[in-house]
Chains A and B, each alone.
Chain A
Amino acid sequence: MKVDIENVQCIVRSSYEFPDSGLALIYGDNSVGKSSIIRAIAAAISYDDSNRDSRISEEQKLLGILQDDTKSSLGLIRLGSDAAKIKLKGDLIDETAIITRNGRFKGSNPRFVITNVLSDVSWIIRILTRTTSEKISDYLKGFNEMIPRYDDIVDQARDMKKELLVKIQELNRMIKENAETQRKINEKKKTLEEKRQLQKALQEKINEEARKDPNREKLVLEINSQVAKMNSSIGDLSGVIERLLERKRNEGLQIDQLKNDIEQSERKLESFKKSLEEYNKTDLNNIPKIEEEIEVFKKERYKEQFLYDILERTYAMLEGEHSDKVLCPLCGSSEINSEQIKRIADEKDKAIRVLDSKISELTRKLGTLKEINKRKEFLSQQISGIEIYLNRNKDDLKQYIQDLAEIERELKEKEEQKADLIRQRDELILVISGDNTDKIKALQGEIKSLESEIKDLEINKKYSQINIFGSSYPVESLTLDIFDKGVMPALSDIESHFLELIETEKNKLREEFNKSIKGILKEMSFDLDIYVDADFNIIARKKTDNGYRILETQNLSRSEQATIALTLQLALANVYAPNYPLILCDGIYEYFDEERRDKILAFANEFGKKHNCTIIITVVKKGMDRPVVRLP
């Protein structure tokens, strides 16, 4: 694998060759740039130039690859450069990353990077602290593709339950409001039925009498048959009226819904227009001017940086062996001293910092203006979208109101027809009622007024249907029962079923992970016992004469920290990423004793060959017979 690095910390431009599998060492004294190579590789595999999240991620902090302008001395990009370029090319990897100061890294951990224990200690603290057990199971979850899928379903079931709960409450309220009216209707209907029975009994009596009187029998039969025909027509009309009433109710619901929608859209439109007005107050014509200014400052900065680099190099040379042969890079004179050069270099450094702050201030300003411009465009699009939607809804509303008027006209017509028929029928009945005329007339009057009272009450019944999950259901206690005791628990069943599956998958992960940790601990004869317990805490313990002693994070020795970090990362790579092409270990090697070091190198080499990956370890001590990138 070939690694080309430009402008990373102390590295101006260098290329390194690593084997494509097995172990590789980066060898060199302290502060010669071993960690810079590791950080560059880690940054290249975790860089995401599409990410614009301005927060500094935990991983950036851990890896020491902060991109914050104000802390440029800590950053990944070499002081004085605008971008770092890192290229990795090998059998299994082909990555090119151009990392800018405002670039960000992928949200996920740049996995399988073991940084030196000092900077990684916070990670170990996190994993060994019981209170962060959730973090560990989350971390492991990232290695299982089914868990996020199950998570989605659980989330969705919960959302649907929330939505349904609101609907059930609404339905309950509607039923209660309807119940009082319904109770009155039922009472009236009962009285009406009684009156009808009375009328029927009277008519039976009239028919009975007519059968005994041959002069009346024919007339009564004739009128009874006419009344029967009229009753059938009245029944048909009632059916038509019922259907028209239903349509009227539905139309009313649609109109309410549309009015509501229109009102909401109008409110939204108004607030969007107000925001747009605010944005319009900002002068955006400055953008090209600011861009130009930034360019000018950048050019100036480049010049200063160039001089600074030369002066720094001259200073190093003046401090080195052949200081008498050094000429002044500015005037060519041989009479120069290092103090003077240092002073001018410091001035240049200061000037660079001033320019940096100007550039960053202008960049921030430019960013804000561009953001406003973007939002303006977005708002304009939204506004025109809402306007189209609003107009369509207004047209629909007009149509619904027209339809409603038509239904009402038809309804009135049918009701008049029905009333007319009833009147004719009642008159006909009276023709043959003989002695019972008064009684029947009174009953007819009572029935008529009861029917009209019931009709009024039916109209006053507010709700007939409710929309749940996009379908309409009648407002009645049966519906409430179905959704409250049927659908709601079904959603809970779905939620708990998938929660169980998540639990199973998580435990599977834990068991695999523990098995892998155990294997590695045995292979390297580490004297620690490390495992993930049932609550997903990572526990490290040591065997003593009195049994196992659980290690507390704050009391871990460097060697223990290194053991834990190395074991956990190799175990993760072993189980979850067998095809991962790189594992990077920075600054941990020296924390192991001589005997263990050989074992680690042998194991790492075998591990790398087996999994077809390269394990890069930085070392300070000499004497290894391994592929080495040697730094001066």
Chain B
Amino acid sequence: MTDTQVIRKKISQNCIKSIEEKIKKNRLTPEEIQNMVISEITKVIKEEN
């Protein structure tokens, strides 16, 4: 069974990393932030399955 703790950790770490990289250079729009988070969620869940 998928370990939800692993999913949680992977999503939050990946998201924080990718958002921090971008936000240092520029202010992101809400859509951009949402897209980045959703793409990390999709990636991790796909991997887990």
Chain A residues packing against B (C-beta within 8 Å): 146, 148-150, 152-153, 155-157, 159-160, 469-471, 473, 478, 481-482, 484-487, 489-491, 493-494, 497
Contact = CB atoms under 8 A, between A and B. Distances in A.
Contact of A156 (B4, B7, B33, B42): B33
A124 B25 CA distance: 36
A486 B11 contact: yes
Nearest to B42: A471
Nearest to B40: A490
B7 A494 contact: no
B2 A148 contact: no
Interface string B5-25: 101111110011001000100
A478 B2 contact: yes
Given A152-B28, A153-B23, A485 B4 contact: yes
Interface residues on B, range: 20 to 34
11 contacts: A148-B27, A153-B23, A157-B37, A160-B37, A473-B45, A484-B4, A486-B5, A486-B7, A490-B9, A494-B37, A497-B12
A148 B19 CA distance: 14
A202 B37 CA distance: 58
A486 B37 contact: no
B8 A490 contact: yes
B4 A494 contact: no
A486 B30 contact: no
A493 B27 contact: no
B27 A485 contact: no
Given A481-B2, A485-B8, A486-B7, A152 B33 contact: yes
A156 B11 contact: no
Contact of B7 (A148, A159, A471, A487): A487
A487 B11 contact: yes
Contacts of A146: 23
Contacts of B30: 152, 155-156, 159
B16 A494 contact: yes
Contact of B12 (A150, A153, A493): A493
A-B residue pairs, 3 tightest by C-beta: A486-B7, A493-B12, A490-B11
Contacts of B19: 153, 494
Nearest to A496: B12
Residue of B2, B5, B12, B45 contacting most chain A CB atoms (<10 Å): B12
Given A469-B41, A494-B12, A494-B15, A153 B7 contact: no
A323 B35 CA distance: 79
Given A469-B38, A470-B38, A149 B8 contact: no
B28 A486 contact: no
A322 B13 CA distance: 85
B21 to A, nearest CB: 13
A234 to B, nearest CB: 30
A152 B34 CA distance: 10
A487 B40 CA distance: 10
Contacts of A491: 12, 37
Given A149-B28, A152-B28, A482 B45 contact: yes
Nearest to A485: B4
A482 B4 CA distance: 6
A156 B8 contact: no
Contacts of A157: 37
B23 A482 contact: no
A497 B16 contact: yes
A143 to B, nearest CB: 16
Nearest to A155: B30
A471 B44 CA distance: 13
A468 to B, nearest CB: 9
Contacts of A487: 7-8, 11, 41, 45
A490 B15 contact: yes
Nearest to A501: B20
Contacts of A155: 30
Nearest to B22: A149
Contact of A153 (B10, B33, B45, B48): B33
B41 to A, nearest CB: 6
Nearest to B29: A152
Contacts of B1: 478
A157 B38 CA distance: 11
Given A152-B27, A497-B16, A160 B4 contact: no
A629 to B, nearest CB: 41
B39 to A, nearest CB: 10
B38 to A, nearest CB: 5
A595 B45 CA distance: 72
Nearest to A154: B33
Contacts of A469: 38, 41-42
Contacts of A493: 8, 12, 16
A494 B16 CA distance: 6
A154 to B, nearest CB: 10
Residue of A160, A486, A494, A497 contacting most chain B CB atoms (<10 Å): A486
Nearest to B16: A497
Nearest to A473: B45
A497 B17 CA distance: 11
A160 B33 CA distance: 10
A487 B10 CA distance: 10
B48 A482 contact: yes
Contacts of B28: 149, 152-153
Nearest to B3: A486
A491 B1 CA distance: 22
Nearest to A495: B12
Contact of B34 (A156, A482, A486, A490): A156
Contacts of A473: 45
Nearest to A157: B37
Given A149-B23, A153-B19, A497-B16, A490 B7 contact: yes
Nearest to A471: B42
A94 to B, nearest CB: 27
B2 to A, nearest CB: 6
